[in-house]
Structure 1
Amino acid sequence: MKVAVAKDGTQVSGHFGHCEGFQVYNINDKEVLGSAFVPNPGHRPGFLPVFLADQNVNVIVSGGMGATAQELFNQNKIQVVVGATGSIDEVVQRYINGQLKSTGSVCEEHAHHDSCGE
Protein backbone atom coordinates (compact mmCIF):
# COMPACT_ATOMS: atom_id res chain seq x y z
CA MET A 1 0.00 0.00 0.00
CA LYS A 2 1.17 3.53 -0.75
CA VAL A 3 0.23 6.40 1.54
CA ALA A 4 0.97 9.94 0.35
CA VAL A 5 1.18 12.72 2.92
CA ALA A 6 0.93 16.34 1.74
CA LYS A 7 3.84 18.06 3.46
CA ASP A 8 5.53 21.35 4.11
CA GLY A 9 8.92 20.63 5.64
CA THR A 10 8.45 17.82 8.15
CA GLN A 11 4.83 18.76 8.92
CA VAL A 12 1.51 17.80 7.33
CA SER A 13 0.40 20.58 4.99
CA GLY A 14 -2.78 22.46 5.79
CA HIS A 15 -3.86 22.30 2.15
CA PHE A 16 -2.74 19.49 -0.11
CA GLY A 17 -2.91 21.55 -3.33
CA HIS A 18 -0.44 24.15 -2.09
CA CYS A 19 2.00 21.81 -0.33
CA GLU A 20 5.67 21.61 -1.29
CA GLY A 21 5.18 17.96 -2.17
CA PHE A 22 4.16 14.52 -1.00
CA GLN A 23 6.04 12.02 1.11
CA VAL A 24 4.94 8.68 -0.33
CA TYR A 25 5.29 5.78 2.10
CA ASN A 26 5.39 2.17 0.96
CA ILE A 27 3.67 0.14 3.68
CA ASN A 28 3.30 -3.63 4.00
CA ASP A 29 1.85 -5.50 7.00
CA LYS A 30 1.81 -2.34 9.15
CA GLU A 31 5.50 -1.71 8.47
CA VAL A 32 6.99 1.21 6.55
CA LEU A 33 9.30 -0.31 3.95
CA GLY A 34 10.52 3.06 2.72
CA SER A 35 9.42 6.44 1.50
CA ALA A 36 10.20 8.91 -1.25
CA PHE A 37 9.54 12.60 -1.74
CA VAL A 38 7.48 13.56 -4.79
CA PRO A 39 7.52 17.32 -5.49
CA ASN A 40 4.16 19.01 -6.08
CA PRO A 41 4.00 19.41 -9.87
CA GLY A 42 1.67 22.40 -9.55
CA HIS A 43 -1.82 23.19 -8.35
CA ARG A 44 -4.24 22.87 -11.25
CA PRO A 45 -7.86 21.91 -10.66
CA GLY A 46 -8.34 18.16 -11.01
CA PHE A 47 -4.69 17.38 -11.76
CA LEU A 48 -3.27 16.13 -8.44
CA PRO A 49 -5.75 13.26 -7.88
CA VAL A 50 -4.84 11.82 -11.29
CA PHE A 51 -1.13 12.51 -10.74
CA LEU A 52 -1.13 10.61 -7.42
CA ALA A 53 -3.24 7.80 -8.91
CA ASP A 54 -0.52 7.46 -11.58
CA GLN A 55 1.98 7.09 -8.69
CA ASN A 56 -0.13 4.10 -7.46
CA VAL A 57 -1.09 5.93 -4.26
CA ASN A 58 -3.87 4.26 -2.23
CA VAL A 59 -4.33 6.88 0.51
CA ILE A 60 -3.84 10.68 0.63
CA VAL A 61 -3.38 12.38 4.01
CA SER A 62 -3.62 16.17 4.39
CA GLY A 63 -4.66 18.88 6.78
CA GLY A 64 -7.36 20.23 4.48
CA MET A 65 -8.69 19.68 0.99
CA GLY A 66 -11.46 21.03 -1.19
CA ALA A 67 -14.64 19.04 -1.73
CA THR A 68 -14.03 18.68 -5.48
CA ALA A 69 -10.54 17.27 -4.91
CA GLN A 70 -11.91 14.80 -2.35
CA GLU A 71 -14.52 13.67 -4.87
CA LEU A 72 -11.86 13.24 -7.58
CA PHE A 73 -9.69 11.17 -5.24
CA ASN A 74 -12.70 8.98 -4.46
CA GLN A 75 -13.34 8.55 -8.20
CA ASN A 76 -9.72 7.40 -8.54
CA LYS A 77 -10.26 4.92 -5.67
CA ILE A 78 -7.88 6.77 -3.34
CA GLN A 79 -8.90 7.00 0.32
CA VAL A 80 -8.89 10.57 1.65
CA VAL A 81 -7.85 11.37 5.23
CA VAL A 82 -8.11 15.07 6.09
CA GLY A 83 -7.73 17.00 9.32
CA ALA A 84 -4.30 15.54 10.05
CA THR A 85 -1.73 17.70 11.83
CA GLY A 86 1.81 17.25 13.08
CA SER A 87 4.92 15.42 11.95
CA ILE A 88 4.45 13.42 8.75
CA ASP A 89 6.24 10.37 10.18
CA GLU A 90 4.08 10.40 13.32
CA VAL A 91 0.90 10.85 11.27
CA VAL A 92 1.77 7.84 9.10
CA GLN A 93 2.43 5.75 12.20
CA ARG A 94 -0.97 6.79 13.59
CA TYR A 95 -2.56 5.76 10.27
CA ILE A 96 -0.83 2.37 10.38
CA ASN A 97 -2.01 1.87 13.97
CA GLY A 98 -5.61 2.72 13.05
CA GLN A 99 -5.51 5.89 15.18
CA LEU A 100 -5.84 8.47 12.38
CA LYS A 101 -9.40 9.26 11.35
CA SER A 102 -10.54 11.75 8.74
CA THR A 103 -12.33 14.78 10.14
CA GLY A 104 -13.86 15.61 6.78
CA SER A 105 -12.13 19.02 6.87
CA VAL A 106 -13.14 20.74 3.64
CA CYS A 107 -11.70 23.94 2.24
CA GLU A 108 -14.66 25.91 0.90
CA GLU A 109 -12.73 28.25 -1.39
CA HIS A 110 -9.23 29.06 -2.54
CA ALA A 111 -9.07 32.29 -0.50
CA HIS A 112 -8.92 30.35 2.76
CA HIS A 113 -8.31 33.32 5.03
CA ASP A 114 -6.05 31.15 7.20
CA SER A 115 -8.88 28.76 8.07
CA CYS A 116 -8.06 25.85 5.78
CA GLY A 117 -7.18 22.74 7.73
CA GLU A 118 -8.00 24.22 11.11
Structure 2
Amino acid sequence: MKIAIASDGNKVSAHFGHCEGFSMYEVEKNKVLNNEFVPNPGHRPGFLPMFLKDNKVDLIISGGMGGSAQELFVNNGIDVIVGAEGSCEDVINAYIKGELKSTDAFCEEHNH
Protein backbone atom coordinates (compact mmCIF):
# COMPACT_ATOMS: atom_id res chain seq x y z
CA MET A 1 0.00 0.00 0.00
CA LYS A 2 1.26 3.48 -0.84
CA ILE A 3 0.24 6.33 1.46
CA ALA A 4 0.79 10.02 0.76
CA ILE A 5 0.73 12.53 3.59
CA ALA A 6 0.35 16.17 2.55
CA SER A 7 3.21 17.75 4.44
CA ASP A 8 4.95 20.98 5.30
CA GLY A 9 8.37 20.02 6.57
CA ASN A 10 7.87 16.99 8.80
CA LYS A 11 4.32 18.05 9.81
CA VAL A 12 0.96 17.24 8.26
CA SER A 13 -0.18 20.18 6.15
CA ALA A 14 -3.39 22.00 7.05
CA HIS A 15 -4.42 21.95 3.37
CA PHE A 16 -3.24 19.35 0.92
CA GLY A 17 -3.36 21.59 -2.17
CA HIS A 18 -0.98 24.16 -0.71
CA CYS A 19 1.42 21.74 0.99
CA GLU A 20 5.16 21.79 0.32
CA GLY A 21 4.91 18.21 -0.88
CA PHE A 22 3.92 14.68 -0.07
CA SER A 23 5.63 12.30 2.32
CA MET A 24 5.11 8.98 0.56
CA TYR A 25 5.19 5.75 2.53
CA GLU A 26 5.22 2.17 1.25
CA VAL A 27 3.47 0.09 3.92
CA GLU A 28 3.17 -3.68 3.94
CA LYS A 29 2.03 -5.93 6.78
CA ASN A 30 1.84 -2.98 9.20
CA LYS A 31 5.44 -1.98 8.54
CA VAL A 32 6.90 0.99 6.67
CA LEU A 33 9.17 -0.43 3.96
CA ASN A 34 10.41 2.93 2.69
CA ASN A 35 9.49 6.56 2.37
CA GLU A 36 10.33 9.53 0.18
CA PHE A 37 9.36 13.16 -0.19
CA VAL A 38 7.79 14.29 -3.46
CA PRO A 39 7.50 18.07 -3.95
CA ASN A 40 4.07 19.48 -4.72
CA PRO A 41 4.01 20.06 -8.51
CA GLY A 42 1.50 22.90 -8.09
CA HIS A 43 -2.10 23.40 -7.08
CA ARG A 44 -4.51 23.37 -10.02
CA PRO A 45 -8.13 22.24 -9.82
CA GLY A 46 -8.34 18.47 -10.31
CA PHE A 47 -4.61 18.00 -10.93
CA LEU A 48 -3.30 16.60 -7.64
CA PRO A 49 -5.70 13.64 -7.44
CA MET A 50 -4.49 12.50 -10.88
CA PHE A 51 -0.85 13.24 -9.99
CA LEU A 52 -1.10 11.04 -6.89
CA LYS A 53 -2.99 8.34 -8.80
CA ASP A 54 -0.17 8.32 -11.38
CA ASN A 55 2.21 7.85 -8.42
CA LYS A 56 0.18 4.76 -7.41
CA VAL A 57 -1.07 6.26 -4.14
CA ASP A 58 -3.81 4.25 -2.36
CA LEU A 59 -4.48 6.69 0.50
CA ILE A 60 -4.06 10.45 1.00
CA ILE A 61 -3.83 11.89 4.51
CA SER A 62 -4.15 15.62 5.15
CA GLY A 63 -5.16 18.16 7.71
CA GLY A 64 -7.79 19.72 5.47
CA MET A 65 -9.15 19.21 1.98
CA GLY A 66 -12.02 20.60 -0.05
CA GLY A 67 -15.08 18.52 -0.81
CA SER A 68 -14.43 18.48 -4.57
CA ALA A 69 -10.90 17.19 -4.06
CA GLN A 70 -12.11 14.48 -1.68
CA GLU A 71 -14.66 13.40 -4.28
CA LEU A 72 -12.02 13.32 -7.04
CA PHE A 73 -9.75 11.15 -4.91
CA VAL A 74 -12.55 8.69 -4.11
CA ASN A 75 -13.59 8.59 -7.79
CA ASN A 76 -9.98 7.69 -8.65
CA GLY A 77 -9.83 4.85 -6.13
CA ILE A 78 -7.81 6.74 -3.51
CA ASP A 79 -9.04 6.67 0.08
CA VAL A 80 -9.03 9.95 2.03
CA ILE A 81 -8.33 10.72 5.67
CA VAL A 82 -8.67 14.37 6.72
CA GLY A 83 -8.32 16.06 10.08
CA ALA A 84 -4.85 14.64 10.74
CA GLU A 85 -2.30 16.77 12.56
CA GLY A 86 1.15 16.43 14.04
CA SER A 87 4.32 14.91 12.66
CA CYS A 88 4.12 12.70 9.58
CA GLU A 89 5.91 9.93 11.48
CA ASP A 90 3.34 9.99 14.30
CA VAL A 91 0.48 10.05 11.79
CA ILE A 92 1.76 7.09 9.73
CA ASN A 93 2.33 5.12 12.95
CA ALA A 94 -1.19 5.95 14.16
CA TYR A 95 -2.58 4.78 10.80
CA ILE A 96 -0.65 1.49 10.98
CA LYS A 97 -1.98 0.89 14.51
CA GLY A 98 -5.56 1.57 13.33
CA GLU A 99 -5.79 4.68 15.51
CA LEU A 100 -6.14 7.32 12.77
CA LYS A 101 -9.71 8.23 11.86
CA SER A 102 -10.96 10.75 9.33
CA THR A 103 -13.02 13.67 10.54
CA ASP A 104 -14.64 13.83 7.07
CA ALA A 105 -14.50 17.63 7.42
CA PHE A 106 -14.57 19.71 4.28
CA CYS A 107 -12.16 22.60 3.92
CA GLU A 108 -13.70 25.64 2.27
CA GLU A 109 -11.09 28.25 3.16
CA HIS A 110 -8.00 28.53 0.95
CA ASN A 111 -6.02 31.02 3.04
CA HIS A 112 -4.09 28.51 5.14
Q: SS of the counterpart of 1:53?
A: helix
Q: Percent identity?
A: 60
Partners of 2:86 and 2:105 in 1: CA distance: 15
Aligned letter for 1:17? G
Q: Give the structure 2 partner of residue 40 of structure 1.
A: 40
On the 8 A contact 1:63/1:105 being kept in 2, the answer is: no
Please state how far the C-alpha of 1:108 moved relative to its aligned partner: 1.6
Aligned letter for 1:59? L
Please state how far the C-alpha of 1:58 moved relative to its aligned partner: 0.2
Please state how far the C-alpha of 1:103 moved relative to its aligned partner: 0.2
Q: SS of the counterpart of 2:4?
A: strand
Please state how far the C-alpha of 1:64 moved relative to its aligned partner: 0.2
Pairwise mapping of residues 79-90 of structure 1 onto structure 2 (< 5 A)?
79-90=79-90
Query: TM-score, normalised to structure 1's length?
Result: 0.92
Q: Deviations over 1:16-38 (max 9, x none)?
A: 00000000000000000000111
Structure 2: runs of 5+ lacking an equivalent? none
Please state how far the C-alpha of 1:109 moved relative to its aligned partner: 3.9
- Give aligned pairs, total: 112
Partners of 1:44 and 1:30 in 2: CA distance: 33
Query: TM-score, normalised to structure 2's length?
Result: 0.97
Partners of 1:107 and 1:31 in 2: CA distance: 31
Partners of 1:5 and 1:67 in 2: CA distance: 17
Q: Give the structure 2 partner of residue 68 of structure 1.
A: 68
Structure 1: runs of 5+ lacking an equivalent? none
Task: Kindly report the root-mean-square deviation, in angstroms, between the aligned alpha carbons of the 2 structures.
Answer: 0.9
Q: SS of the counterpart of 2:90?
A: helix
Partners of 1:97 and 1:60 in 2: CA distance: 17
Q: SS of the counterpart of 1:107?
A: coil
